[in-house]
Amino acid sequence: MRYNCIIVEDNLLERDALEMNLKKIEGLTIKAVLKDGLEAVSILKNEPIDIVFSDIDMPELSGLELLRSLKNPPVFIFISSHSQHAAESFELDVIDYIVKPVKLDRLIKAVDKATEYLKIRNNVNNEPAKQLFTPNPSTDFSRSIDAHEYFFIKENNAHTKIHMGDVLYIESMGDFSKFYTLQNKSHLVLISLKNLEIQLPENLFIRVHKQYIINVLHIKNITVSDIRLTNNTNIPVSIAYKQALQDKLINKKTLTRFIGE
């Protein structure tokens, strides 16, 4: 299946470079290459577009303003020279955010994420899963958590059983969330990360970024900017969630030289 996309970038050299790289990626049809957000509004009103690759800082209409102006926006991938817009972008459910200069491998990763999301969205059952956990009156997730405890997710017209301890981390994909497990498998569900955060036990799963929830059982080490998991995946920690991570986990679980230190 091919996906229609547009490029919105006010810098001529970066616009041409992005177009050249996107032409190397299979499955994309570039419908238009535009120099500002106002041009994009016209195209998006009249053409069926699946993916928008957009700069953020543009004259007249920024990438963020462009996205907000659309009632039913296509999938957005923002490309910017500055990382400070990332948090606001993810609030608007963009599928990915790339900081310039854009490397081909990073662009491929973003396209894969976007097309995977589109495939699921186009085929998903229109009835969202209302409940993540199978009811079990004898289980209290607010107390101690056993790694062998489990939940069910709905996928492919069936309910898949997943053990708590097998989940490495969960990534937001707009209205969907993607579970990554120890078995090198992934599961995409029609549940937002916000709703998962409410349902999952907070002493096992911690939100560390707009896009990520991690399983504390699989933390290898924590730095100022990211967390390395036991499979050597690095998960970024955003400023908005850093204090909660410090209070809920680091302060409570760090050994000190003296009691009360």
Cis, peptide link before residue 101, omega less than 30° from 0:
yes
Strand order in the sheet with 176-181: 186-189, 176-181, 167-173, 212-215, 205-209
Say if pTM beats, i.e. exceeds, 0.85. Answer: no
pLDDT of residue 129: 43
Residues 6+ apart with CB under 8 A from 75: 50, 51, 52, 95, 114, 117, 118, 174
Q: How far is CA 32 from CA 25, 48, 140, in A?
A: 16, 12, 54
Q: Which domains does the chain have, with CATH numbers?
A: 3-123 (3.40.50.2300), 150-253 (2.40.50.1020)
Sign of CA dihedral 45, 47, 50, 53: negative
pLDDT of residue 147: 62
Q: Helix, strand, or coil here: 176?
A: strand
Q: How far is CA 220 from CA 25, 96, 117, in A?
A: 34, 25, 29
Task: From 106, 76, 6, 81, select the one nearest 48 (Cα to Cα).
Answer: 6
- Compute the distance between CA of residue 190 and CA of residue 40 in angstroms, rounded to an integer: 29
- Compute the distance between CA of residue 246 and CA of residue 230 in angstroms, rounded to an integer: 20
Distance of CA 87 to the CA centre of its chain: 11
pLDDT, block means (10 residues), the chain with 261 residues: 95 95 95 94 92 93 93 92 78 87 94 88 55 43 60 84 94 88 88 90 90 94 92 90 87 76 55
pLDDT of residue 65: 94
